[in-house]
Amino acid sequence: MAVAGGGEPPFPAVDKCDASPSCRVGHTVVSDLDGTLLRSRSAFPYYALVAFEIGGVPRLALLLLLEPVASLLRRAASESAAGRVLTFTATAGARVSDVEFAARAVLPRFYAADVHPVAWRVFAACGGGGGRGRRLVVTATPRVMAEPFLRDYLGADAVAGTELTAWRGRATGMVDARRGVLVGERKAEALREMVGDGEMPDIGLGDERSDYAFMSLCKEAYLVPRDPVEAVRADKLPRPVVFHDGRLVQRPTPLAALLIAVWFPVGFLLACVRIAAGALLPMPWLRRVFGALGVRVVVRGAPPPPGADSAAGGRAGVLFACSHRTLLDAIFLSVALGRPVAAVTYSLSRLSELLSPIRTVRLTRDRATDAAVIRSMLDVGDLAICPEGTTCREPFLLRFSALFAELTDDIVPVATECRMSMFHGTTARGWKGMDPFYFFMNPFPEYTVTFLNKLPAELTCGGGGKSSHDVANHVQRLIASTLSYECTSFTRRDKYRGLAGNDGIVAAVKIAKCKLT
């Protein structure tokens, strides 16, 4: 294996390392991040994610303009100088809490999709042994950006990275003067502080010459080659990234970032046109109009006709129990039906209410009050409800609230699914009023609405004597099976605690399969 700059490398390739857990338990491993634990050798996409989340398109565009300068400095001057440019551009003036939020809620999903399989095999095999073995990471990336993912999702015991400086709660964009950017000998110094002078970690993992200094302090050291490899599958990592935030769908490489910056103003104008069409035109027209505007609406199954069950159920309306992907679920349900269907919601911005082409009613999370609201709405027509209570971007369904099953037997499960190529149409921390705009800013968004069969009477509370929890779980399983999703016991509280960091990480809650009835 050749190394950058020519010559034979002083360390063997990582595939030569015996990574059997039986041999490595109790061993200490220390690894670089970019190009080692991660396949990508460029940290630009992760700086770009932070820049976009805290500063939007202007900061992303500035970072994009300075990326060639950073690349030139990396080749002509030093890796440290390049790191200072990227760090300053991405974080200067930002609230430290915003950087921490991006690191906890946005970056893990992208980091998890970039884990190097061979380096991970070695890293995962080490540690344990009654506390004797540890998993350590030394990286030029700011520690505040990398540490949440490495600790919470890869099981790292300690992370040494570039330290940012702050003033009055805002990042200055400068790095700590004493330690500087962690490259070369500074990584070795950080490792000595982590393990103690004279102590030698068992295994060192790196990918380039600047890693040789800390690798030389290890009993064994291995280089990760630059050969293209497939990332580790998500289900092979210790914990899944179930909840994540941020607006960007794709990993923002320099080319992708350029496309985002160029498309953003065009996409916003297109979103305004699409939203205006949805708000002003008759519902029966919208499927064709959306199609002409690049929004594909796919309808599967047999939509029930209006008022089909009023004679049988004694009520005027059918309750559509939908999976929850964005705030637009009920609107696209109405588009699929060709008629407006009212919806209940827990949180909706005033702007979204104003622009909505269907009637929306807020719930209070008081069970008795909400039950009365839902009953009154069913008395006058069809109603859409999302029993999950909040959205989830990954192929999981959250636990269904059982309240809807207690109020009617006329239940039609609906599996909704949406595809976005550039921007996510949901947010946990940002302004929810922009959610519809971000969805419609995608060049060719797609919504699939699948109508399942109405629940038979014997599987309902009134006609079949089932408990409301049994009915809710059954509907959840039906929708999950249709979408090839996984049922979980996560709730809205789990999501917001996990993304806000108030009650541990989301991954601390184990995924629980729904029990079959």
Q: Which domains does the chain have, with CATH numbers?
A: 14-225 (3.40.50.1000), 263-500 (no CATH)
The band of 431, judged by pLDDT with boundaries at 50, 70 and 90, is confident
Q: To the nearest whole number, what is the mean pLDDT of the chain?
A: 90
Q: How far apart (Å, rounded) are the C-alpha atoms in residues 403 and 408?
A: 10
List, in sequence order, every beta strand (DSSP E) within 302-371. 319-322, 342-345, 360-362
Burial track 143-158 (b if 16+ CB lie within 10 A, e otherwise): bbbbbbbbbbbbbbbb
Q: How far apart (Å, rounded) are the C-alpha atoms in residues 386 and 346?
A: 10
pLDDT tens digits, 109-120? 999 999 999 999
- The burial class, CB within 10 Å (0-12 / 13-18 / 19+), for 354 is exposed
Q: Which residue has the higher pLDDT, 164 or 508?
A: 164
Among 6-20, 98-112, 160-174, 176-190, whose mean pLDDT is lowest? 6-20
Among 54-58, 238-242, 253-257, whose mean pLDDT is lowest? 238-242
Average pLDDT over residues 240-246: 92
Three-state DSSP class for residue 428: coil
Show the tokens assigned to 68.
């060639």
DSSP letter at 253 equals -
- pLDDT of 459 higher than 80: yes
Show the tokens assigned to 362.
């807020």
Percent of the chain with pLDDT over 70: 92
The band of 511, judged by pLDDT with boundaries at 50, 70 and 90, is very low
pLDDT tens digits, 132-148? 889 999 999 999 999 99
Q: Are 297 and 289 in contact (CB under 8 A)?
A: no
- pLDDT at residue 162, rounded to an integer: 96
- The burial class, CB within 10 Å (0-12 / 13-18 / 19+), for 95 is middle
Q: Which residue has the higher pLDDT, 346 or 234?
A: 234
The band of 352, judged by pLDDT with boundaries at 50, 70 and 90, is confident
Average pLDDT over residues 4-25: 82
Average pLDDT over residues 84-88: 96
DSSP class per residue in 15-72: GGS---HHHHTT--EEE-TBTTTBS-S--HHHHHHHHHHHHHHHHHHHHHHHHHHHHH
- pLDDT at residue 513, rounded to an integer: 41
Three-state DSSP class for residue 319: strand
Average pLDDT over residues 259-284: 96
Helix, strand, coil in percent for the chain, rounding step 5: 45, 15, 40
CA pseudo-torsion sign 425, 429, 433, 434: negative
- pLDDT at residue 185, rounded to an integer: 94
The band of 315, judged by pLDDT with boundaries at 50, 70 and 90, is low
- pLDDT at residue 354, rounded to an integer: 78
- pLDDT of 5 higher than 80: no
The band of 501, judged by pLDDT with boundaries at 50, 70 and 90, is low
Give the pairing type, strands 446-451 and 411-419.
Answer: antiparallel
pLDDT tens digits, 15-72? 999 988 888 889 999 999 999 999 999 999 999 999 999 999 999 999 999 999 999 9
Average pLDDT over residues 271-292: 96
Give the pairing type, strands 135-142 and 158-162.
Answer: parallel
Residues 165, 249, 295, CA angle at the centre, nearest 5°? 145
- pLDDT at residue 132, rounded to an integer: 82
Q: How far apart (Å, rounded) are the C-alpha atoms in residues 71 and 83?
A: 10
- pLDDT of 502 higher than 70: no
The band of 311, judged by pLDDT with boundaries at 50, 70 and 90, is very low
- pLDDT at residue 284, rounded to an integer: 95
DSSP letter at 343 equals E
The band of 512, judged by pLDDT with boundaries at 50, 70 and 90, is very low
Q: How far apart (Å, rounded) are the C-alpha atoms in residues 252 and 259?
A: 9
Q: Half-sphere exposure of 423 toward its Cβ, with a 13 Å CA cutoff?
A: 26
- pLDDT at residue 184, rounded to an integer: 92
